Structure 1
Amino acid sequence: MKVAHVYKDVYPPVAGGIEKHIDGIRRGMPDVESDVIVCSRSRLTSVHTVGTGVEVRVGELGRLLSTPLAPGFPGRLRSLRADVFHLHMPNPLGELSTLAALRGRPIVASYHADIVRQRRLNPVYLPLQRACLRRAGAVVVGSLSLLRTSPALAGMAERAEHVPYGVDLTRFDPERVNAEDREALRRRYGTPLVVALGRLVHYKGVDQLIAAASSLDASVVIAGGGPLEGHLRDLARSEPRVHLLGSVPEADLPLLLAAADLFVLPSVNRAESFGIATIEAQAMGVPAVVTDVGTGTVEAIAPGETGVVVPAGDPMALAGAISALLTDPDRRRTMGEAARRRVLAKHSQNDQVSRLKAIYGRVIASSG
């Protein structure tokens, strides 16, 4: 089987949730040829062998409203030979190119998130998204809440298939972390230790966590890079126990999470559709405080059992929930143990890729 993933960026180097999700799928399918076609963030087009497939990075002229301007993308997409094309949305360039270049080709569409900052364009953009979803042989969602509430998915409950996001449970395993390294990290930053992971972009709400930190008797470590990094460092200057690490190598994330007493996802709007970092933390046995933005952020935990939910955009509520858990080590331990069990049962990457392979096979068979 040969699959071609269609998106705008790739991990590495872009450490976004969708990019890491695609990378996890291709790494989790060593018996499948997995190509990826994205844009290069430069004017040059390049083709590299990665894993079992190729990575095509198409040259672009720049970006407008986060969308690559790449006139050569449809032609490059058309030239790919694959048994099935996996379109990852939202992705205006990929969606236009799919409709223009993949007529008669088998397509699976994963709908990951709504657009928020550019929602004024929805009268034009939603018809494009829905045309792609109708064209697809299968529609995949990682969040049932998103399926129920997204305008793009309205009326598609019968067609859409829920495939929960997965994590590599071998890599994110607390038993594989060296205890001395864990304690060294805790000494470096101080305890109790609160950790947040993610790209430093508007919807992640890292400014809310920095604001909450002024009310906490805890160290806060924030790992991730992005366009807001300079602004957030300015905000954190008055908070000596807030540490912005910038981009952290993927290989270092299990240790960082293992050192945490608590994980926080402080997102502020529907652009955050789930929060894969939350289930990575839960896999490491770390309880979580997450904000409810009306999508799948709450699905990443079992509220009251493996973590706590607070309203989005409320630093005082965030601080209160964090403080309550930090002062109750028995509850944190119970939640952490339940978190690991829940991820093993619901968010295994092996289960995720098995279900996707079955969907690919069905779509390929039905198109023949």
Structure 2
Amino acid sequence: MLHNNKKPALWRARTLLLILVGLLSPTTSLHAGETLTLLTWEEYLSEAVIERWQAETGVEIRQVYFDSGDKRDEILAKPDHQIDIALTELISSTRFGARGLLQPLDEPSLAKLHRAAPRWRDSCGRYSVPYLWGTLGIAYRSDRLDFVPHSWADLLKPARPDEPHIIMMEDHEDILASPLILLKHSINTSDNDELKAAFELLVSQSEAVLTYEYAITALRSQRHLDRADMALAYSGDQQVLNQVEGVQGEPWRYVVPEEGTLLWVDCLSVPSIARNKPLAYRFLNFLNRPDIAALNAAELGVATPNAAAQALLPEEIRADLTIYPADDVLARSQVYEMRPLEATQTRRRIISALINAHDAR
């Protein structure tokens, strides 16, 4: 098994070859000078993939970043956002689709969609296509902690409760998943007592929290570098955190707690007001080409839903349990389901209260 998502020399050579082949391909002048705007997480599209796309089409990729689902939703709700493709998930894409803000998938225009198994397509619904998937867990500095986290309690009931050293996240869905799982509740609960118990657990943890931000965003800003040693994170984030810090030995590692986790599926959607829908669909097909999907997944250290792409990956990557979890981990995992809008609004109020109280200290 690979540790810390380090790619083997064979795959690095393969990656360089793919880039070289792409750069030698003739640019398609039909779209030269055009720009395709993506709304996505930071560091969530391989630079090698961007170079391949731009070499083949002449179309520039412009990325607009968000660091929480709430921030993403604020952008998509604007009537003049100028986003061509947005990173979404089932709940947000279904709600925005019902409001007419996302275009239902034009499946005949997505010739490559069949390469994703029905499980992943169903996880994105009728307004989006599967992009990447993974788990929620704990990223930790192996050189600063004298133990390996194995439970959500290690993050939520830290041994140093009064010393700020943990990075959480602002997202009202994912930040609540860990306390709900630790308390043996469904991550989809709408029960106010269960949500209150999760909130109280987060409040009791808050004195140990440095910031409520996406860990990559927080550390890239050069804040908290000397104090952060644990973070609520997604599979693959540890690879970027090591690059951000530039420290020797890649000390950031990742673990899925023993109680189970959130199994997330990220999707891509086309807004109804996208300026060039045919070009957006061409990009979605491009991302689902097996060679491109494999290159993207390997570069990011994240699991691909594209079965043909997964088959192209070296055995070391397919056997990396931080990327492709064991069956028993998947069996203990939960996925988000649709819930009443009022329940989502309750979650937003809970997290706003938590963060406001922390920032007021």
Q: Which TM-score applies when normalising by structure 2?
A: 0.35
Q: Which structure has the higher relative contact order (CA within 8 Å, separation 6+)?
A: 2
